[in-house]
Structure 1
Amino acid sequence: MRDREISYALARRAAASGFDTLMFTVDTPVAGARLRDKRNGFSIPPQLTLGTIVNAIPRPWWWYDFLTTPKLEFASLSSTGGTVGELLDAAMDPTISYEDLAVIRDLWPGKIVVKGVQNVADSVRLIDHGVDGIILSNHGGRQLDRAPIPFHLLPQVVREVGKDATVMIDTGIMNGADIVASVALGAKFTLIGRAYLYGLMAGGRQGVDRTIEILRTEIERTMRLLGVSSLAELEPRHVTQLTRLVPVGSGAASVPLEA
């Protein structure tokens, strides 16, 4: 955040509450264009747009929900207005650096994971700075659509730092087969964003449970098709599409933490 003391206070509060791992996010120094949000008129708090009203005309059950349920809002942003991009630009600081990471490392007693790593060089440097884990991520392609693809970087990063840190991956995890492929290439686990949010919006907690059930079923099916009975049996040889369709080179651009 622009106000470093707020971030430090949150970290101390989390430590005092018993949390043992802190995720340090570096993939949103500024907001991406978010063109879909602009087209949809998405704002904080959410508002009924003309497009939504037109879409609701032939759907009377939508109107029932509009009129009988509480207004949609973000619980932690009830006093904030504007777009998501405006909120991010106001809150985040693009000058984040390794010096800030060192401060967090000094005040945080547990493990630190950095999310948003996009090249091998930064992966190595982060481990040298005492980070316990890294998450390869380009924020779902929502920040810079030409950023390196985390899945393509995964084999190189695992070779360089996999023995010294926990390597995870975020971005592009659309189904259980993606999770299996990521583990086969060396990721300890994957993160998901949109999948559980779709389930949450469609059915609340039951929707999230259903999302997890779908992913579990897809993982098990993929493993059976590969002839393996446990995640520990997965190896890079089980993933062929990475090199067959999209050759992986070593020319991914370096995006340093420093501004």
Structure 2
Amino acid sequence: MAIPADKKVAVVTGASSGIGEASARALASDGWHVVVAARRMDRLEKLAEDIGGTAVQLDVTDQKSVDALAEVLPRVDLLVNNAGGAKGLEPLAETKIEDWQWMFDTNVLGTVRVTQALLSKLEAAPENSGLIINMGSVAGWNVYEGGAAYNNAKHGVRVISRALRIENHNVRVTELDPGRVATEEFSLNRFRGDAGKAAAVYDGEVNLTAEDIAEAVRWVASLPAHFNIDVMTLKPRTQS
């Protein structure tokens, strides 16, 4: 794995599309060597080629896959825990337990697995400059109809961020909480491939883009080691 010794290394999970891909591109433009990690290697390899980074296949729901990622990384200065997603918008009484399990395993336990696996490398970053950016959501703060499982999962990401901060690992922790972001794959996944319903979420609305969120990732990552952004909420101007 060709990771330059003179460059800071950023790991971005869920990097094959959407906010993860955009964040990887933004960080690379700022001089980071970016390790892009996700399940779809065809997309990752193209992205890594575009940005001069490194592609590693990763399934955050599989501990062996997470351990394999950690084993091949000589150093980590920044971890962007971006892998996640939602399934369904049914009322709580009609939700499927398997959807809850998937959302918790991906959003919550996936964040814990990757953080645990890479924490010692982040703690070893020069001058206590290690940084974790957890991709939360306004859904972790505000309950909405049909969102019970996803609300719970994203609240779990908030708890992880808070716990890491008070445990004082000499690693900075930032929680980014986007509001309405027009990312096609997120919505398609939530509506189980129904493109019409997925598009309707954003039709007629002012929406943020994946690149907007990536700009926040890039800015937080550019700050000096004594500076920690605790929580940042990101919304389009029309979203209350």
Q: TM-score, normalised by structure 2?
A: 0.32
Of Structure 1 and Structure 2, the greater strand share is in: 2
Q: Point out the structure with max Rg over C-alpha.
A: 1
Q: TM-score, normalised by structure 1?
A: 0.30
